[in-house]
Amino acid sequence: MAPSVMASSATTVAPFQGLKSTAGMPVARRSGNSSFGNVSNGGRIRCMQVWPIEGIKKFETLSYLPPLTVEDLLKQIEYLLRSKWVPCL
Protein backbone atom coordinates (compact mmCIF):
# COMPACT_ATOMS: atom_id res chain seq x y z
CA MET A 1 0.00 0.00 0.00
CA ALA A 2 1.06 3.54 -0.55
CA PRO A 3 2.07 5.54 2.58
CA SER A 4 -0.68 8.11 1.99
CA VAL A 5 -3.37 5.38 2.00
CA MET A 6 -1.99 3.81 5.17
CA ALA A 7 -1.89 7.14 7.00
CA SER A 8 -5.50 7.95 6.15
CA SER A 9 -6.84 4.55 7.24
CA ALA A 10 -4.90 4.42 10.52
CA THR A 11 -6.60 5.56 13.71
CA THR A 12 -4.86 7.62 16.34
CA VAL A 13 -4.30 5.81 19.62
CA ALA A 14 -2.87 7.47 22.70
CA PRO A 15 0.38 5.89 23.89
CA PHE A 16 0.32 3.72 27.03
CA GLN A 17 1.09 5.85 30.07
CA GLY A 18 1.29 3.11 32.71
CA LEU A 19 -1.21 1.97 35.31
CA LYS A 20 -3.57 4.48 36.84
CA SER A 21 -3.42 5.29 40.52
CA THR A 22 -5.98 3.52 42.71
CA ALA A 23 -5.89 6.25 45.37
CA GLY A 24 -9.36 7.48 44.40
CA MET A 25 -10.93 4.00 44.44
CA PRO A 26 -13.09 2.91 47.40
CA VAL A 27 -11.43 0.33 49.65
CA ALA A 28 -13.30 -2.45 51.46
CA ARG A 29 -12.25 -2.61 55.10
CA ARG A 30 -12.20 -5.87 57.04
CA SER A 31 -13.02 -5.97 60.70
CA GLY A 32 -10.08 -6.62 63.02
CA ASN A 33 -11.32 -10.04 64.15
CA SER A 34 -12.15 -11.52 60.72
CA SER A 35 -9.93 -14.25 59.38
CA PHE A 36 -9.96 -16.41 56.30
CA GLY A 37 -9.31 -19.49 58.46
CA ASN A 38 -12.94 -19.51 59.62
CA VAL A 39 -14.57 -19.47 56.19
CA SER A 40 -17.46 -21.91 55.74
CA ASN A 41 -19.72 -22.62 52.81
CA GLY A 42 -22.63 -23.03 55.20
CA GLY A 43 -23.31 -26.67 54.37
CA ARG A 44 -22.63 -29.85 56.23
CA ILE A 45 -19.71 -31.96 55.17
CA ARG A 46 -20.72 -35.49 54.31
CA CYS A 47 -18.27 -38.24 53.50
CA MET A 48 -18.88 -40.65 50.66
CA GLN A 49 -17.53 -44.16 50.57
CA VAL A 50 -15.82 -45.05 47.32
CA TRP A 51 -15.81 -48.55 45.86
CA PRO A 52 -12.47 -49.71 44.40
CA ILE A 53 -12.75 -49.95 40.62
CA GLU A 54 -9.83 -52.30 40.03
CA GLY A 55 -11.07 -55.60 38.63
CA ILE A 56 -14.72 -54.52 38.71
CA LYS A 57 -16.19 -53.48 35.38
CA LYS A 58 -19.67 -52.39 36.47
CA PHE A 59 -21.29 -51.61 39.79
CA GLU A 60 -25.03 -51.45 40.49
CA THR A 61 -26.88 -50.43 43.66
CA LEU A 62 -30.45 -51.08 42.43
CA SER A 63 -31.28 -47.60 43.74
CA TYR A 64 -33.38 -46.57 40.74
CA LEU A 65 -35.82 -49.49 41.03
CA PRO A 66 -39.23 -49.27 42.73
CA PRO A 67 -39.91 -51.43 45.79
CA LEU A 68 -39.53 -55.08 44.74
CA THR A 69 -40.84 -58.36 46.01
CA VAL A 70 -38.29 -60.96 47.10
CA GLU A 71 -38.76 -62.86 43.82
CA ASP A 72 -38.26 -59.71 41.72
CA LEU A 73 -35.19 -58.79 43.71
CA LEU A 74 -33.70 -62.26 43.17
CA LYS A 75 -34.33 -61.96 39.43
CA GLN A 76 -32.55 -58.59 39.34
CA ILE A 77 -29.56 -59.95 41.27
CA GLU A 78 -29.35 -63.03 39.04
CA TYR A 79 -29.37 -60.76 35.99
CA LEU A 80 -26.55 -58.67 37.44
CA LEU A 81 -24.48 -61.76 38.22
CA ARG A 82 -25.04 -63.16 34.70
CA SER A 83 -23.88 -59.82 33.30
CA LYS A 84 -20.77 -59.99 35.54
CA TRP A 85 -21.80 -56.86 37.42
CA VAL A 86 -21.48 -56.47 41.21
CA PRO A 87 -24.80 -56.16 43.07
CA CYS A 88 -24.58 -53.91 46.12
CA LEU A 89 -27.45 -53.85 48.59
Within 13 Å, how many C-alpha atoms sit on residue 3's CB side? 0
pLDDT number for residue 80: 85
Position 45 pLDDT exceeds 80: no
Inside any domain, residue 81 = yes
Within-domain flag for 16: no
Let me know if residue 47 belongs to a domain. no
Q: Which amino acid is at 20?
A: K
Task: Evaluate the CA torsion angle 38, 43, 47, 48 in order and state its sign.
Answer: negative
pLDDT higher at 88 or 84: 84
pLDDT at 8 over 60: no
Residue-number span of the structural domain to which 61 is assigned? 55-89
Judge whether 10 lies within some domain. Answer: no
Domain for residue 30, yes or no?
no
Is the residue at 85 inside a domain? Answer: yes
Query: Has residue 88 been placed in a domain?
Result: yes
Q: With a cut of 60, say whether residue 35 has pLDDT above it.
A: no
Number of domains in the chain: 1
Task: Give a yes or no: residue 3 inside a domain.
Answer: no
Q: Which of 5-9, 24-28, 64-68, 74-78 has the lowest mean pLDDT?
A: 5-9
| Percent of the chain with pLDDT strictly greater than 70 | 33
Is residue 59 a contact partner of residue 85, using CB atoms and an 8 Å limit?
A: yes
pTM: 0.31
**Percent of the chain, pLDDT > 90?**
4
